[in-house]
């Protein structure tokens, strides 16, 4: 029995068939298939549009409110990260027993928390926290007394919200990680590369796509403050993703230029080493302008952050950056480029001098 090319192409446009066939392909294979011909390109696009439907992914946590949540993301720069972002990129439905992990700027903790309360979630205070949400968020930093459980850098507080699902009796949980400086500082302090993924209101970013999505590997990394305490316990907890844990970059991978599994040097979330997946923004309200003279913002502030990945066989992989602060900036940003940092500092100093609005500048932390 033989199949003609036209019959194969017809089969690719039948959802029950192409979902099974394309579901066996890695992301890299899917992107290669798109280049073969117009018909396959259309079939792959149709498959990816369905399987990477962020609204459907969020509907289990925010029934009928997924786009309202993404509008909240646009207003506040809230990122989905950790295992939650990894599950989405792996084309796995969000497991009901896992919390949705949100990483937020400290200045928006009240707005994000109140939104969750309005959608039916209840603040679940930890033993060391104040039971009332409004009282708890008045604290600048409130971490557990046992600091050994804190294995990520830049965390100001962790807020948990729970909601019971009447139909099943299951408990849905949202874990809000409030960043002391910038949400990406927390993401980049993860102890392995497979967790370095984020989802903003309009795009999903995988920082190490070849290793994470193609090879099923993850590399142990350290942050500027060194290897986190109890990172072994953390990796065991998060390796439910099925990735093979590496402590060193394989020798043959060190000489791969493109696409490298573990790209080194200066990085941005939307550089050529990341996989950037655009998401539909239909029904998502964009961020409002801060002033009438300001340009409209079409991207999330996460695109501004810059860091450097270094590697040596003796010390392994490490992620380095500084934190830029200024009263003229709404948020704090990460930068590993001294020339860029100096340029921004000079620009802010010029703004201060020109408009006489007080002292400006940046400093590294």
Averaged pLDDT, 177-183: 94
Q: From residue 204, give the alpha-carbon distance in Å to each of 45, 53, 215, 235, 260.
A: 16, 11, 19, 23, 20
| 177 and 148 within one domain | yes
pLDDT tens per residue across span 41-95 = 888 998 999 999 999 999 989 988 999 999 999 999 999 998 999 999 999 887 8
Give 241 or 361, the one with higher predicted confidence. 241
| 68 and 107 within one domain | yes
Share of the chain above pLDDT 90, in %: 45
| 86 and 142 within one domain | yes
| 195 and 137 within one domain | yes
Share of the chain above pLDDT 70, in %: 80
**Is the model's pLDDT at 362 over the cut of 70?**
no
Q: DSSP characters for 78-147?
A: -EEEHHHHHHHHTT-PPPTTSPEEEEEEGGGHHHHHHHHHHTT-EE---TTS-SSHHHHTT-S-B--S-G
pLDDT tens per residue across span 321-336 = 989 888 888 899 999 9
Domain encompassing residue 45: 5-51
| 149 and 46 within one domain | no
| 246 and 183 within one domain | yes
| 237 and 206 within one domain | yes
Task: Return the structure tokens found at 111.
Answer: 């707005």
Domain count, the chain: 2
Domain assignment present for 300: no
Averaged pLDDT, 160-165: 93
**Is the model's pLDDT at 129 over the cut of 50?**
yes
Give 151 or 67, the one with higher predicted confidence. 67
Domain assignment present for 73: yes
pLDDT at residue 361 in the model:
37
The pLDDT confidence band at residue 2, using thresholds 50, 70 and 90, is very low
| 147 and 33 within one domain | no
**Is the model's pLDDT at 143 over the cut of 80?**
no
Distance, CA of 73 to CA of 35 (rounded, Å)? 33
Averaged pLDDT, 121-132: 91
Mean pLDDT (the chain, rounded) = 83
**Is the model's pLDDT at 292 over the cut of 90?**
no
The pLDDT confidence band at residue 345, using thresholds 50, 70 and 90, is confident
| 119 and 171 within one domain | yes
Q: Residue 299 forms beta bridges with which residues? A: none
Task: Return the structure tokens found at 200.
Answer: 């903003």
The pLDDT confidence band at residue 148, using thresholds 50, 70 and 90, is very low
Q: What is the three-class DSSP state of 68? A: helix
Averaged pLDDT, 12-32: 82
| 151 and 114 within one domain | yes
**Is the model's pLDDT at 296 over the cut of 80?**
no
Domain assignment present for 335: no
Give 264 or 253, the one with higher predicted confidence. 264
pLDDT at residue 357 in the model:
40
Tell me if 179 sits within 8 A of 105, measured CB to CB.
yes
Q: What is the three-class DSSP state of 344? A: helix
Query: Which has the minimum average pLDDT: 63-67, 231-235, 270-274?
Result: 231-235
The pLDDT confidence band at residue 359, using thresholds 50, 70 and 90, is very low
pLDDT at residue 293 in the model:
56
The pLDDT confidence band at residue 313, using thresholds 50, 70 and 90, is confident
pLDDT at residue 149 in the model:
42
Q: pTM of the prediction?
A: 0.87
Distance, CA of 205 to CA of 89 (rounded, Å)? 9
| 233 and 179 within one domain | yes
Taking alpha carbons only, the member of 207, 229, 193 closest to residue 318 is 193
Burial 49-60 (b: 16+ CB within 10 A, else e): eeebebbebbeb
Tell me if 308 sits within 8 A of 267, measured CB to CB.
yes
pLDDT at residue 353 in the model:
54
Averaged pLDDT, 99-124: 95
């Amino acid at each position: 029995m033989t199949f003609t090319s036209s019959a194969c192409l017809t089969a690719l446009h039948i959802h029950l068939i192409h979902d099974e066939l394309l579901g066996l392909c890695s992301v890299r294979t899917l992107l290669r298939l798109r280049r073969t011909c117009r018909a396959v390109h259309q079939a792959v696009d149709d498959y990816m549009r369905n399987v990477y439907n962020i609204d459907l992914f969020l509907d289990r946590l925010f029934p009928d409110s997924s786009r309202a949540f993404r509008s909240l993301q646009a207003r506040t720069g809230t990122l989905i990260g950790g295992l939650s972002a990894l599950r989405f990129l792996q084309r796995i439905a969000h497991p009901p027993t896992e919390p949705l992990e949100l990483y937020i700027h400290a200045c928006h903790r009240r707005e994000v928390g109140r939104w969750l309360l309005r959608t039916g979630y209840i603040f679940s205070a930890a033993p060391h926290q104040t039971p009332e949400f409004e009282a708890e968020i008045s604290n600048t930093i409130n971490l557990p007394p046992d600091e050994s459980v804190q294995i990520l850098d830049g965390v100001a507080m962790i807020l948990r919200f729970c909601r019971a699902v009447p139909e099943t009796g299951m408990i849905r949980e949202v874990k809000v990680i409030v960043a002391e400086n910038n949400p990406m500082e927390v993401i980049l302090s993860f102890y392995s590369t497979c967790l370095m993924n984020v989802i903003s209101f309009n795009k999903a970013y995988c920082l190490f796509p070849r290793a994470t999505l193609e090879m099923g590997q993850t590399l142990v990394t350290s942050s500027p403050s060194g290897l986190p305490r109890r990172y072994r316990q953390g990796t065991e907890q998060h390796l439910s993703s099925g990735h093979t844990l590496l402590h060193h970059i394989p020798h043959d991978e060190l000489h791969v230029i493109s696409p490298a599994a573990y790209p080194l040097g200066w990085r941005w979330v939307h550089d050529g080493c990341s996989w950037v997946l655009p998401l539909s923004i239909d029904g998502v309200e964009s961020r409002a302008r801060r002033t009438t003279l300001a340009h409209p913002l079409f991207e999330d502030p996460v695109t501004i952050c810059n860091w450097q990945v270094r590697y040596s066989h003796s010390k392994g992989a490490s992620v380095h950056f500084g934190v830029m602060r200024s009263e003229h900036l709404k948020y704090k940003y990460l930068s590993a480029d001294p020339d860029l940092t100096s340029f921004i500092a000079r620009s802010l100093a010029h703004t201060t001098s020109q408009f006489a609005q007080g002292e400006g500048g940046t400093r590294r932390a």
